[in-house]
Amino acid sequence: MEPNNVFSLLLIISLWFLLTFHSNAETSTYIIHMNKSFFPQVFTTHHDWFKSTIHSLKSKTLVPDDYDQASKQSQKKLVYTYDHAMYGFSAVLSSNELEILKNIDGFVSAYQDRTATIDTTHTFEFLSLDSPSGLWHTSDFGDDVVVGVIDTGLWPESQSFKDDGMTKKIPNKWKGTCETGQEFNTSMCNFKLIGARYFNKGVIASNPNVTISMNSARDTIGHGTHTSSTVAGNYVNGASYFGYAKGIARGIAPKARIAMYKVIWEEGRFASDVLAGMDQAINDGVDVISISMGFDDVPLYEDPIAIASFAAMEKGIVVSSSAGNAGPEFGTLHNGIPWLLTAAAGTIDRTFGTLVLGNGQSIIGWTLFPANAIVENVLLVYNNTLSSCNSLNLLSQLNKKVIILCDDSLSNRNKTSVFNQINVVTEANLLGAVFVSDSPQLIDLGRIYTPSIVIKPKDAQSVINYAKSNNNPTSSIKFQQTFVGTKPAPAAAYYSSRGPSHSYPWILKPDIMAPGSRVLAAYIPNKPTARIGTNVFLSSDYNFMSGTSMSCPHVSGVAALLKAAHPQWSAAAIRSALITTANPLDNTQNPIRDNGYPSQHASPLAIGAGEIDPNRAMNPGLIYDATPQDYVNLLCGLKFTKNQILTITRSNSYDCENPSLDLNYPSFIAFYSNKTRSMVHKFKRIVTNVGDGAATYRAKVTYPKGSVVTVSPDILTFKYKNEKQSYNIIIKYVMYKKENVSFGDLVWIEDGGAHIVRSPIVVAPTGIV
């Protein structure tokens, strides 16, 4: 036994006396980080060391004389051993036991288990992936890239997970497996779905009496089936949601392999399970991790996603995450982690259904009523009293064979009233309804239960005029129609969480925006996706879902394609390529708008650099790279304690000789104090020429309002491929009264225009963090 170990044992024994005088009934699951260099040689595995450590706590406190009993108890208490995402374990401990543990040699840090927040086929055309020279073709559709999806499991029988057309060979590096469990066995995996595992010891530790309703990688929530088919689902002909968005469904990287790690359960969502899933994914050999969930308001050194994705980044694995659905206010974002990708959600240029008036006028609206209802030439009722549509009593007295025009401006227009109107009209059981609303919540998240359509307020006046001017006004509603090319699109979804990040405000987050609203993807067949009236529920194999949970797998899919096209690029290089080539303009060539603040242009705190542009990302010209040591310099710059840093970096010996918050990131954010309202901030950046050879780039800056920005040098000349050049940028803010968050950009333009490398710049008051 090594001296360290003897010492720990003495410590445990001496503390045992203390402990026995305390009541320690209250236990919790803790995640415990250890220093690997203290691993005692007497143990063959880390698991044995941790088990023994916990056993020694337990046996001294409860049943010192009954080894079997103690051993059973100690096995119960060790929840997971971690070795790839972090080094350490999770265990059920009392606070007294935790205090003892803190004095053991090799202890680094501990924190309580916590709960994750989960954030829910046409999108590929919108992103222009199908052009013949595009990223799809260059990357061979993501062939041989493995995407690990950390989620709620999946429905293995879905058409999206069939392996038709896949190379019949699993990548050599793959170490994963298909775990047998309830209604799930190895025969359900194939050359598309190459791994499926499940982790729920954290759920069980938190409530030993819990009954796990589906103890396997099978999805009972629908979220993971949707996200994993969005990343890498196979081609499926004729997929639709009750006839809407009908077409060929396919993932963003349709030839990439999927490995599912089920960590989210109907019975609970725990950090210890998330860490176990990521730990396994890293060890199994995934290339990309897609994680559509986050932990709110936690420091980097207690955030399991930050911790696990640091280990992933060191191995060159790209981790793509969701910003959260807590928008539109600033400072609501999670996963604002410097070494991963954070995706915001945007709208799609698509709508469904038409209203046709008796006078022949046709208005494209929005409906997802799940059937081809026949609503033709029906009496249209518009009446100041009835059309507030908030009285079931009044509407029930109407002849049922009418279409009621519901105007939410008549019901003290507010964000919830149109949802209320939909419920009232559904209960009134009328033949049809026309709702007037531009509520982004409705368009992104609402459902329609009665044959009806939503039109925009700007289109409503002509309907009202027609209804008023005619003695017998009629109208028709057409269902199951899909219209693409709606303008303007994309816009920042109102719900998408906005930066800055609380855990690390000094880099601009989110990084990028991708389609998140009304995304069609595979779903579980035994859970309703639609309702008709008040009590008829319908299911479908494909479903629309909205959220940054849906935009994240789009980014993960593009990252997988980039990984296939550029296998040598680091995770930072892939992120840089995505950021500097993103599109800040919508399909009307105007700046992307913000649906959370409808009259405003979206700031980079909502959309990052803009909408993801996969084809341009393939060939970015310049990249801003970063090494693991650069991130350590950043942790040192944050003045984290040695143990907080080790919690993230594990046992590798990093030094803190060059602390710096100025990470080589492809975007800029500078804060001014709202007291002085002035600021000068200097950044240094290094760019690598990944173009074909010699190139000259010139800087073009758009100042944020109230700021002056200088770039030096403002011409960068590269003689060869992979050459690095550096520049400085100084942002000087002088009081600007009108806006507290202002933004601009720095664009490096290659002579001849072959490459345009854009970095957004944000200037914001410290008060918004």
Residues that bind ligand NAG (CB under 6 A): 35, 37, 185, 187, 207, 209, 330, 383, 385-386, 390, 394, 411-412, 414, 416-417, 420, 642-643, 646, 674, 740, 765, 767-768
Q: Give 412 or 535: the residue with its C-beta nearer to ligand NAG.
A: 412
**How far apart (Å, rounded) are the C-alpha atoms in residues 231 and 237?**
17
Q: Give 579 or 636: the residue with its C-beta nearer to ligand NAG.
A: 636
The total of other beta-carbon atoms located within 10 Å of residue 47's CB is 14
Please say whether the beta carbons of 275 and 304 come within 8 A. yes
Please say whether the beta carbons of 471 and 491 come within 8 A. no
**How far apart (Å, rounded) are the C-alpha atoms in residues 592 and 583?**
9
* 157's tokens: 């029988």
Active-site positions read: 151, 223, 549
* 296's tokens: 């709110």
Please say whether the beta carbons of 363 and 569 come within 8 A. no
Residue 743 CA: distances (Å) to CA of 378, 605, 761: 51, 9, 5
**How far apart (Å, rounded) are the C-alpha atoms in residues 474 and 356?**
9
Q: Give 361 or 652: the residue with its C-beta nearer to ligand NAG.
A: 652
Reduced to 3 states (helix: H, G, I; strand: E, B; else coil), residue 400 is coil
Rounded least distance, CB 524 to ligand NAG, Å: 16
Amino acid code (one letter) for 765:
P
* 404's tokens: 């009621």
Q: In the complex, which residue's CB is closest to ligand NAG? A: 767
Answer whether the bond into residue 208 is a cis peptide, omega within 30°.
no
Please say whether the beta carbons of 719 and 694 come within 8 A. yes
Reduced to 3 states (helix: H, G, I; strand: E, B; else coil), residue 246 is strand
**How far apart (Å, rounded) are the C-alpha atoms in residues 476 and 360?**
10
Q: Give 416 or 470: the residue with its C-beta nearer to ligand NAG.
A: 416
Please say whether the beta carbons of 338 and 665 come within 8 A. yes
Rounded least distance, CB 767 to ligand NAG, Å: 2
Residue 39 Cα to chain centre, angstroms:
36
Rounded least distance, CB 695 to ligand NAG, Å: 40
Q: Give 181 or 547: the residue with its C-beta nearer to ligand NAG.
A: 181
Rounded least distance, CB 429 to ligand NAG, Å: 16
Phi/psi of residue 702, nearest 5 degrees: -105, 120
Q: Give 33 or 60: the residue with its C-beta nearer to ligand NAG.
A: 33
Q: Give 183 or 692: the residue with its C-beta nearer to ligand NAG.
A: 183
Single out the residue of 66, 44, 64, 47 nearest to residue 56, CA to CA.
64
**How far apart (Å, rounded) are the C-alpha atoms in residues 613 and 562?**
12
Rounded least distance, CB 385 to ligand NAG, Å: 4
Q: Give 487 or 639: the residue with its C-beta nearer to ligand NAG.
A: 639
Rounded least distance, CB 743 to ligand NAG, Å: 13
Q: Which residue has the tokens 């550096």?
A: 726
User: N- to C-terminal Cα distance for the chain?
Assistant: 50
Rounded least distance, CB 369 to ligand NAG, Å: 22
* 61's tokens: 């406190």
Please say whether the beta carbons of 423 and 452 come within 8 A. no
Rounded least distance, CB 495 to ligand NAG, Å: 18
Q: Which residue has the tokens 């061979």?
A: 140
Rounded least distance, CB 649 to ligand NAG, Å: 9
Q: Give 3 or 132: the residue with its C-beta nearer to ligand NAG.
A: 3
Any idea what the Cα angle at residue 120 is, between residues 118 and 123, rounded to 5°? 140
* 82's tokens: 């971690």
Single out the residue of 430, 381, 385, 388 nearest to residue 406, CA to CA.
388
Q: Give 216 or 543: the residue with its C-beta nearer to ligand NAG.
A: 216
Helix (H) or strand (E) holding 464: helix 457-469
Rounded least distance, CB 160 to ligand NAG, Å: 19
Rounded least distance, CB 394 to ligand NAG, Å: 6
**How far apart (Å, rounded) are the C-alpha atoms in residues 597 and 588?**
19
**How far apart (Å, rounded) are the C-alpha atoms in residues 250 and 690?**
30
Q: Give 138 or 740: the residue with its C-beta nearer to ligand NAG.
A: 740
Please say whether the beta carbons of 42 and 5 come within 8 A. yes
